[in-house]
Each structure stands twice: as C-alpha cells, then as structure tokens.
C-alpha cells in the first residue's frame, strides 16, 4: 500500500485489467483496502474506473451552477418533505456564508431537479451518479472479501439503490471569525466517495491529529461509514472527519453508497459468535438511525455531547 501525503493509496487497477499475476494483484489490493479500513477508515483510490475528465467537468459545471444568482438556484429547490430531498439548499438552512449544495438521486427514479443552465449540467450529474454507483458496487464486493463474508453476502444484504445520493457542494471562503465548513462527524452510511477541486480542506482525525486529505487530480477519497463499522463489530473504522474552509470557494462532490431504510443493522456472526467476541452494538433499524441524525441538524441539541451518533447503539 503506497502513500501519498498522509492517506493510504489503493490502486484498483487489478479489478479492471487482467494481467499475468491478476490473482496476486487482486489479493494485494484487497489487503490494502482491508488495512486502510482498519487503521484510517479512509483511503485514496486511483485507477478506480471513473474518468478523470468526467470529474473535472462535473466540478467545473457545479461551480458554474453555484455562481448563478440565488433566485435562479432557488428554482431548483429541495423538497423538504421527502426522506431524501433533492435539489438545491443551504447548510445550515438560510445561511449565506457557510455552504450550499445540490442533491442528486438515481436518475432512474425520475425525481431530480436540474437548472436550465449551465449547458450539459444534467448529463454530467447523471453520468457521475452512474459511474460512482458502479464504483460503490465494486468497493462493496472488495469489502465483502476483506470482511471474510460468504460470497455475495453484502450484495444481497444491500441490494436496493434508491437510498444512494450524490451531493455537489460549494463551501464559502473562511472568515476572520470562523473557518469550519463542516463540523467533525462520521458518515452514517456504508461507503462515501469524495472528489474535490484544488482548494482542499477535507481533514481526517487519526490518532488525535487532523490529517489533510489533499487534492490529487483524478483520485477519489473513499471512506467507510457507520454501517460497515457496526457490521464488523468495530473492526473497521468509520473515521471522524471535517472540512476546513480556505480563503476561496471550495467545490466538491460526495456520493453516499447507502443502505435501504428498512434494513436491520447489527454486528455479524463472523465478528462475534464465530470468533468468541461479544457484540459491541445492539440491533437497530437503519431508517430510525437516519431519523436521529436528521434531528441533529433540524433540532440541534444545546450541548454537543447530546448529538446522536452511532455510540447511541453501543452496548
């Protein structure tokens, strides 16, 4: 497993291109993913199958969209009533100097909202969503092997893609008073993919220190979320991360490879009974956990320690 900056780097080429040592190369890449998920919860993927020119074009078009007047962006308004709202919004709500976003769901659902301009925006968003879905399916298969699960277990367990979503985001420049674009948190889903412009700002907490996930053209940052941490009984790490704002606007994309809300989540026997360890989490329904996470945002508790995270289910 090579290193670029501080994050582990995993070359996914063996999963796309057969070679003389294909089996050995796949085994090495799988072990690199396993080690990264145990130690960092994050890694940088290269040769991942998502065209670099597509990511660059998506970032350019997203920047053009976010540069539109507010009244134009507001026409692509998110549906606040939906469980996965689509369209444009600000975070926190009504903020004018924090960050803004556009949420895109699977185009096959037919419920996305797109602006008339910039030209080509819709096509780029839908192609990105499709390519990142393919990457999610690949990473899920790799994780299945990393976790020593029966062939196809995660594919059958997580076989519904309607809860996946992609977010294009613009962070506003830092101010003299405050520079946090997104406070420290862990992702509640299965796997997240991030690609970003040259500005940077994403940081990962490792051994008590904040490690920058510096931009590298054509690469994708991969991190596992709370679902994988629970299934693995905390053998794999849903790492804490944040975004620090810089003196200029920052643009990024995040794709959330998710679990259907009606699925139950609990430590698997491979990490408990079969190895003589007790479960570290109690069983929970995924949509209930997501509702608690949404409540953190819509009705923030007065004390930071009262924010609900996956520790809510710890035994």
What domains appear along the chain, each with residue ranges and CATH number?
Answer: 2-313 (2.60.120.330)
User: What mean pLDDT is predicted for residues 76-84?
Assistant: 63
pLDDT exceeds cutoff 90 at 90: no
Q: What pLDDT score does 83 carry? A: 57
pLDDT tens digits for range 252-311: 999 999 999 999 999 999 999 999 999 999 999 999 999 888 887 777 777 777 778 899
The residue annotated as part of the active site, out of 34, 44, 250, 293, is 250
Q: What pLDDT score does 110 carry? A: 87
Q: What pLDDT score does 79 carry? A: 59
The whole-angstrom distance between residue 48's C-alpha and the CA centroid of its chain comes to 15
Average of per-residue pLDDT values in the chain: 91
User: What mean pLDDT is predicted for residues 65-91?
Assistant: 81
What burial letters (b/e) apply to 55-69, b meaning 16+ CB within 10 Å?
A: bebbbebbeebbebe
The residues, any chain, with a CB within 8 Å of residue 24's CB and separated by 6 or more, are none
- Whether 250 is catalytic is yes
């Amino acid at each position: 497993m090579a290193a670029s900056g501080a994050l582990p780097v995993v070359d996914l080429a063996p999963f796309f291109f057969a070679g003389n040592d294909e089996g050995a190369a796949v085994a090495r890449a799988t072990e690199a993913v396993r080690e990264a998920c145990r130690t960092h919860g994050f890694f940088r993927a290269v040769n991942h199958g998502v065209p670099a020119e597509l990511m660059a074009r998506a970032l350019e078009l997203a920047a053009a969209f976010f540069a539109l007047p507010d009244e134009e962006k507001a026409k692509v308004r998110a549906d606040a009533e939906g469980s996965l709202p689509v369209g444009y919004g600000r975070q926190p709500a009504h903020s004018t100097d924090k960050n803004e976003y556009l949420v895109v769901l699977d185009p096959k659902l037919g419920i996305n909202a797109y602006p008339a301009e910039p030209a080509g925006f819709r096509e780029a968003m839908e192609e990105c969503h499709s390519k990142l879905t393919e990457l999610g399916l690949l990473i899920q298969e790799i994780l299945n092997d990393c976790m020593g699960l029966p062939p196809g277990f995660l594919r059958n367990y997580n076989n519904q893609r309607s809860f996946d979503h992609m977010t294009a985001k613009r962070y506003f420049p830092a101010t003299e008073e405050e520079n946090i674009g997104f406070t420290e948190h862990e992702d509640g889903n299965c796997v997240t993919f991030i690609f970003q412009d040259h500005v940077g700002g994403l940081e990962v907490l490792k051994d008590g220190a904040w490690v920058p996930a510096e931009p590298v053209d054509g690469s994708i940052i991969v991190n596992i979320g709370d679902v994988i941490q629970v299934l693995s009984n905390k053998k794999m790490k849903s790492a804490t991360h944040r975004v620090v704002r810089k003196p200029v606007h920052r643009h990024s994309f995040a794709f959330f490879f998710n679990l259907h809300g009606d699925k139950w989540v609990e430590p698997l026997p491979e990490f408990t009974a079969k190895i003589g360890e007790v479960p570290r989490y109690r069983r929970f329904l995924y949509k209930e956990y997501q509702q608690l996470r949404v409540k953190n945002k819509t009705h923030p508790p007065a004390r930071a320690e009262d924010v609900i995270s996956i520790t809510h289910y710890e035994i």
